[in-house]
A and B are shown apart, each in its own frame.
Chain A
Amino acid sequence: MTTQPATAPLRDDEPPVNLWRDAWARLSRNRLAVLSLAIIGLLAFVAVFGPWLTPFDFLSQNLDARNLSPNWVHLFGTDELGRDVFSRVVYGTRTAFVVAIVVTGIAATLGVILGALAGYLGGPFDRFVMWFTDTTMSVPQLLLVVVINASLKPPLVNFMEAQYEATKNGFFRNAIIIDFVLVFGSMALILWPPYARLIRAQVLSIRSRPYVTAARALGLTTPIIIARYIIPNAIGPLIVAISAGLGNAMVLESAFSFLGVGVNPPIPSWGNMISDGLQVWRNHAHLLAAPAIVLGVATIAFSFLGDGLNDALNPRGRK
């Protein structure tokens, strides 16, 4: 029932703290989590400001400097078109963050709404949502995404073309936009079910906890109970899941690129750089190593941060 002895003394030496400040204090005592947070902060900074700080344009080719190994001018070397790999990795960071944030944002929002409703309402709606998540989660992700991608692309292209015909706005002919919409859409569609299941399970278990009954016995209204008793108790696991989810989305984007359904060249993404690099890694290992290492570091950082948050957000787990 509890890990604390029932007679634990009142602790008067400890200053009272707010839950979030308390969680932050605990997180900042976790060295791995702090390091992860620093790495993520740096990558986020690079994602936002990097393209203005890089020495080269990520697209500019220099056919006299192709396939150079890392050196002081080109920190990560150059690729087969003579483009600066460092600049491309930096720009790829932006792609990775945009994809991760947008995709995780859509997936988590969709998942939280559908999962919470399923948990509250129960009945046929719950059964439908659960059937849907079960089905989605039982099909291999990559297979599913190829299918979704293939079936979304023609109608999307047709739609955009029709918009272009109607408006003559060049925006609708931009292949990059179509690309991103497809990647976001298909990734979000396969990533929301775990969030829905998590939130549904949380709502179901929290709904019948004694403190919710106690809150109802106080005559509190349902919106107050949901807002102050159910959601705050469900949010910890959600934050943890989102943190790990951001890293997963980055990996997934790379896997998509590898299958040719991700963000397409010439826009650099770690994924398409890795997939290009794989073809030449015997001769030009840096083309694979640079994006792969950055991707690896980023996902590990997100996952350790998730673990740290998990410990920090559980007020009972503190030491």
Chain B
Amino acid sequence: MSERLLDVRDLKIEIDTRRGRAVVVDGIDLHVDKGETLGVVGESGCGKSLTMLSLVGLLPNRIHTTGGSAHFAGTDLLRMQPAELRAVRGGRIGFVFQDPMTSLNPVMRIGDQLMESLRQHKRLDKAAARQRAGELLKLVGIPGAEQRLESFPHELSGGMRQRVMIAIGLACDPDLLIADEPTTALDVTIQAQIVELVKGLKQRLGMSVVWITHDLALIAGLADRIAVLYAGTVVEDAPAELLFRDPAHPYTRGLLASIPRLHGEDGARLSSIGGTPPEPGRRPQGCPFAPRCPLAEAMCHDIVPALAPLRGVATPHRVACHVANRVREAA
């Protein structure tokens, strides 16, 4: 069996509000093996970013982890001292954020920004850090890398900036690269280029990747495994090709059905899921998806389903649904 790199169990995140604490992330279970690419999919606001930020102690004010564990290479990140955690950030875990326009320091040259974490974590001197920075820009396919070190962020296009962000995320040879919707702010053609870039880099460098997105189609060719999030819980977790071929959770099916198929039959309707996810602090009592679920039964509104392996399949395919097993067996 392959080795676990990251193992998040029952993670709970709450927000302090004027009306008390609101749960945003309610018992997330996630794991990433060495060398694996995990796609994390979910609608905007379902807690994807907060989950990742909580792992490295970067939650905004008034938002706290209130339960669970997150073991990274054997150590629980949630119980680390701030200084230890800082060594993990940018060192063993690299980040790429959503908006390349605002995630780079506008008054600092690209080269200097690339050198920051090299100097912090690897204790490289200026010359060595600079050389490595040039190599990194080449690695992410930026033309004229050496000259680009001197550029300011505003002199680069959005796609180029995101390449720089990826180079920064990879600077210290992390074991894990967490990319939080890295292509959402980019043009469609550039999105595909960035996906290809990360795919290639992963093959060359062998790190694990967590790729967060709200766009299931985007990561079809990238992710080894996909975890589907809904309202702060994992509702389905399966190898990518299995999830696309045989989705078990009604929510995943809804998501898949709403992907427009370019080569689909003429007149095929785009189906989408009616309603909206619950707001933090207004979670229903039972399954969070029940109010929108076409298959919901009485028990769905009362009891929260656990994330459990699907019956009768060999590969690990976990789903949090009371009716999924029964519906599949009936079919």
Contact = CB atoms under 8 A, between A and B. Distances in A.
Nearest to B147: A16
A266 interface: no
B101 A1 contact: yes
Contacts, number: 116
A109 B58 CA distance: 31
Interface stretch (B83-91, B257-265, B297-305, B311-319): B83-91
B98 to A, nearest CB: 8
Main secondary structure of the interface of A (DSSP, over half): loop
Contacts of A218: 89-90, 95, 116-117, 120, 168
Nearest to A232: B107
A221 interface: yes
A11 B155 contact: yes
Contacts of A315: 106-107, 152, 154
Given A216-B58, A217-B89, A232-B107, A10 B102 contact: no
Interface in A188-244: 208-211, 213-221, 224, 228-229, 232-233
A232 to B, nearest CB: 5
A6 B117 contact: no
Contacts of B154: 4, 315-316, 318
Interface string B73-103: 0000000000000111111000101110111
A147 to B, nearest CB: 39
B160 interface: yes
B157 interface: yes
Given A16-B150, A315-B154, A219 B106 contact: no
A19 interface: yes
B121 interface: yes
A22 B106 CA distance: 13
Given A1-B102, A210-B102, A228-B105, A219 B159 contact: no
A214 B97 contact: yes
Interface string A246-280: 00000000000000000000000000000000000
Interface of B: 53, 56, 58, 60, 86-91, 95, 97-99, 101-109, 116-117, 120-121, 143-144, 147-148, 150-152, 154-160, 165, 168, 185-187, 190
Given A6-B157, A7-B159, A218-B116, A233 B90 contact: no
A8 interface: yes
Contacts of B106: 211, 233, 315-316
Interface in A1-21: 1-2, 4, 6-12, 14, 16-17, 19
Given A6-B187, A10-B143, A211 B103 contact: yes
13 contacts: A6-B185, A6-B186, A10-B155, A19-B152, A210-B98, A213-B53, A213-B97, A217-B90, A219-B120, A220-B116, A221-B120, A224-B120, A228-B105
A1 B104 CA distance: 14
B102 A217 contact: no
Contact of A215 (B105, B155, B190): B105
Contacts of B150: 16-17
Contact of B156 (A10, A22, A208): A10
